[in-house]
């Protein structure tokens, strides 16, 4: 992989290091319903779908060829919370050293 255009948090998953950038404000605006869906206490298909949408949006800033279907195949239950935390930290939604709710 070449040097990504956006700085971010480096996460190792699916056998590679990925630079997870902050979401753009436009992405954040479009993804707010997904963040709200992730606040419900029950683990559900909707939460998985919302997580995949958020992860794809963030990764697509640095890896524009990456399709949602690719993210569905690459991300597993072990890497999903790690990626979501990286996105939240890179986007300034969770401060460094602050624990995520959940």
Domain boundaries of the chain, sorted by first residue: 22-90
CA distance 75 to 18: 12
CA distance 77 to 49: 12
Whether the predicted model's global pTM rises above the 0.75 cut:
yes
pLDDT at 1: 58
From residue 19, alpha-carbon distances to 26, 40, 47, 66, 94 in Å are: 20, 28, 23, 13, 17
- Residue 6 gets which letter from DSSP? S
* 68 and 52 Cβ atoms separated by less than 8 Å: yes
* 51 and 76 Cβ atoms separated by less than 8 Å: no
Q: pLDDT 10s digit of each residue in the chain, 102 long?
A: 578 999 999 999 999 999 999 999 999 999 999 988 888 777 889 999 999 999 999 999 999 999 999 999 999 999 999 999 999 999 998 766 655 554
* 6 and 61 Cβ atoms separated by less than 8 Å: yes
From residue 49, alpha-carbon distances to 9, 17, 22, 46, 55 in Å are: 22, 23, 19, 5, 10
pLDDT at 94: 76
């Amino acid at each position: 992989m070449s040097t990504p255009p956006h700085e971010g948090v480096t996460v190792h998953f699916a056998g590679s290091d990925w630079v997870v950038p902050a979401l753009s404000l436009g992405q954040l605006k479009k993804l707010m319903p997904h963040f709200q869906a992730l606040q419900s206490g029950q683990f559900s298909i909707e939460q998985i779908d919302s997580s995949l949408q958020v992860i794809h949006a963030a990764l697509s800033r640095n890896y524009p060829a990456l399709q949602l279907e690719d993210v569905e195949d690459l991300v597993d239950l072990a890497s999903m919370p790690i990626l979501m935390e990286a996105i939240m930290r890179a986007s300034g939604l969770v401060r460094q050293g602050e624990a995520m709710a959940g």
